[in-house]
Amino acid sequence: MSNSAPVIVWFRQDLRLADNPALDAAVRQGRPILPVYILDDENAEEWAMGAASRWWLHQSLESLNASLEGRLLFVRGDAKAVLPELVQDVAAAGVFWNRCYEPWRIARDTTIKDSLQGDGVSVKSFTGSVLFEPPNTNKPDGTPYRVFTPFYRKGCLENGIPPRQPLPAPHDFPIYDTDAGLSLEELELLPTINWYSEMAELWKPGEAGALKRLKTFLSDGIDHYDEGRNRPDRQYVSRLSPHLHFGEISPNQAWFAVHERNSTRELTPDEDRFLSELGWREFSYNLLYNEPTITSGNLQRKFDRFPWIDDDASLKRWQQGKTGYPIVDAGMRELWRTGYMHNRVRMIVGSFLVKNLLQHWRHGARWFWDTLVDADLANNSASWQWIAGCGADAAPYFRIFNPVTQGKKFDPEGNYVRQYVPELASLPEKFIHNPWEAPEEVLTKVGVTIGRDYPAPVVDLKPSRERALAAFKSLSLSSS
């Protein structure tokens, strides 16, 4: 085969040039590189990206295309048909990609690999989106861990296979010219109505934006991370999650950047906590890999009997940030406006939905899937099951986050609520998280009428908590 025959690099959740094992290996072949992105909604089916993720993807692909001199090939359709056809059209000498771990991607990629190899085409896949390959993190008996701490400490840190060092971006490699493919606009990732203006101001998708975000966090946020990560009114979290999901930066780059801040000392508690949060991401991927049904089915099967309540009206109030509980409503409005929600608030709004409202966790997971720019099937599924109590290493059933006490503890001055629930901005701190308890003269002074300017609580906290505890108890009784 002629050395002019290209090798295909199939970009997926690795939209970067640096620390891209598939791209690095392909460039080492000494052949022209044909970079390809395939928008494959056909195989994704119900897990096709939501609106917020599609907005992010458009920006990220635009950035990657610029890095590739405007020669990234865009294709839309079933990758099981599209990729073999492209291999044949350009007489490709091989195909390179980094592995993905969603069940539908694993099934699709296995079919493609078998098909191409059956036709004599070389296919190489690499670890590019996780620190620790899932099969390497199992217990000594070969079964997967279900509890985070032993998974992270033993399955990851002590498994004898440390994270690999990040790879540099390849330079000056030849890119194969082809007239095939679509324009980025023809992928139709952007909505026809511009609802994303605030997202566009807040986020900088792409590899350069990801590296800048990491640098900012390491200089301004990580030294306050252990405690500060619980404060939605402060800028102490990394906000790297969408960049990690789309692979604009690898977890390896983040991992080693933390270790390299000062290689002559031990990790600080803040640094160690951040790395353990990367470990939680690994745990979610490990769960999805070993338990692919967690996307819709309870990991703990006894929850199949849980007495969820179908109430479209209360679900809609939750989605719209009109529950009457300011910290919940602030979180839901932040999500709608920015495509993001602070992690502490995600736990609060999740607990409120599944425990105070007794709505099925799948309603929350589906809403997050459509509205989060960092919507990730592994993290989203595992986190919602954790909140509901039906997942691995789940929150105990009696852990029901009180939105008032949580708000007072983690948004003590009410600045987060004031930002996203401006109708309450003039309330004094004493009542910012419980406005229905404010005296009438206080509400009148700031021009707020509960039920008109701001909704009354959708449920009472104490009775709804007792209802949830009774529902959880019924599972124990029915299984005994």
For the chain, percent of residues with pLDDT exceeding 90: 92
Residues 93 and 16 placed together within one structural domain of the fold: yes
The last residue of one of the domains, among 128, 157, 183, is 128
The last residue of one of the domains, among 79, 113, 128, is 128
Residues 27 and 81 placed together within one structural domain of the fold: yes
Residues 385 and 445 placed together within one structural domain of the fold: yes
Average model confidence (pLDDT) for the chain?
Answer: 95
Asked whether residue 75 is assigned to any structural domain, the reply reads: yes
Q: How far apart are CA 344 and CA 159, in angstroms?
A: 30
Residues 321 and 445 placed together within one structural domain of the fold: yes
Tell me which residue of 228, 252, 224 sits closest to 126, measured CA to CA: 252
Tell me: pLDDT of 343 over 60. Answer: yes
Per-residue model confidence (pLDDT) at position 397 = 72
* Residue pLDDT, tens place only, 440-480: 999 999 999 999 999 999 999 999 999 999 998 888 755 53
159 backbone dihedrals φ, ψ, rounded to 5°: -90, 0
Asked whether residue 190 is assigned to any structural domain, the reply reads: no
Number of domains the chain contains: 3
Residues 315 and 453 placed together within one structural domain of the fold: yes
Q: How far apart are CA 468 and CA 474, in angstroms?
A: 10
Confidence of residue 244 (pLDDT cuts 50, 70, 90): very high
Residues 236 and 363 placed together within one structural domain of the fold: no
Asked whether residue 195 is assigned to any structural domain, the reply reads: no
Strand partners, 450: 454
Structural domain of residue 139, as residue ranges? 130-166+206-290
Residues 113 and 146 placed together within one structural domain of the fold: no
Per-residue model confidence (pLDDT) at position 37 = 98
Tell me which residue of 256, 274, 71 sits closest to 167, measured CA to CA: 256
Per-residue model confidence (pLDDT) at position 3 = 66
* Residue pLDDT, tens place only, 165-175: 999 999 999 99
* Residue pLDDT, tens place only, 277-295: 999 999 999 999 999 999 9
User: Bigger pLDDT: 421 or 1?
Assistant: 421
Asked whether residue 178 is assigned to any structural domain, the reply reads: no
Per-residue model confidence (pLDDT) at position 180 = 87
Asked whether residue 50 is assigned to any structural domain, the reply reads: yes
* Residue pLDDT, tens place only, 360-400: 999 999 999 999 999 999 999 999 999 999 998 776 777 89
Per-residue model confidence (pLDDT) at position 480 = 39
Question: C-alpha distances in angstroms, 245 versus 7, 265, 312, 369, 380?
Answer: 25, 30, 31, 13, 11
Specify the amino acid at residue 211: L
The last residue of one of the domains, among 268, 290, 312, is 290
Specify the amino acid at residue 103: P
Q: How far apart are CA 328 and CA 330, in angstroms?
A: 5
Q: Is 347 exposed, middle or buried (0-12, 13-18, 19+ CB in 10 A)?
A: buried
Per-residue model confidence (pLDDT) at position 289 = 97
Residues 343 and 433 placed together within one structural domain of the fold: yes
* Residue pLDDT, tens place only, 3-22: 689 999 999 999 999 999 99
DSSP E strand stretches across 177-296: none
Residues 120 and 137 placed together within one structural domain of the fold: no
Q: What's the whole-number mean pLDDT along residues 51-69?
A: 97
Task: Tell me if 376 sits within 8 A of 245, measured CB to CB.
Answer: yes
Q: What's the whole-number mean pLDDT along residues 240-253?
A: 98
Q: Is 140 exposed, middle or buried (0-12, 13-18, 19+ CB in 10 A)?
A: exposed
Strand partners, 104: none
Asked whether residue 183 is assigned to any structural domain, the reply reads: no
Please name the residues in contact with 195: beta carbons below 8 A apart, sequence gap of 6 or more.
none
Asked whether residue 422 is assigned to any structural domain, the reply reads: yes
* Residue pLDDT, tens place only, 25-47: 999 999 999 999 999 999 999 99
Confidence of residue 2 (pLDDT cuts 50, 70, 90): low
Residues 229 and 310 placed together within one structural domain of the fold: no
Asked whether residue 438 is assigned to any structural domain, the reply reads: yes
How many whole angstroms from its chain centre is CA 161? Answer: 25
Element (H, E) at 38: strand 33-39
Residues 80 and 146 placed together within one structural domain of the fold: no
Active site amino acids: 277, 280, 308, 343, 361, 384
> What CATH number corresponds to the domain at position 54?
3.40.50.620
Per-residue model confidence (pLDDT) at position 192 = 85
Q: What's the whole-number mean pLDDT along residues 140-156?
A: 95
> What CATH number corresponds to the domain at position 213?
1.25.40.80
Per-residue model confidence (pLDDT) at position 395 = 67
Per-residue model confidence (pLDDT) at position 127 = 97
Residues 363 and 283 placed together within one structural domain of the fold: no
> What CATH number corresponds to the domain at position 306?
1.10.579.10
Tell me which of 86-90, 176-180, 183-187 is least confident: 176-180
Tell me: pLDDT of 96 over 80. Answer: yes
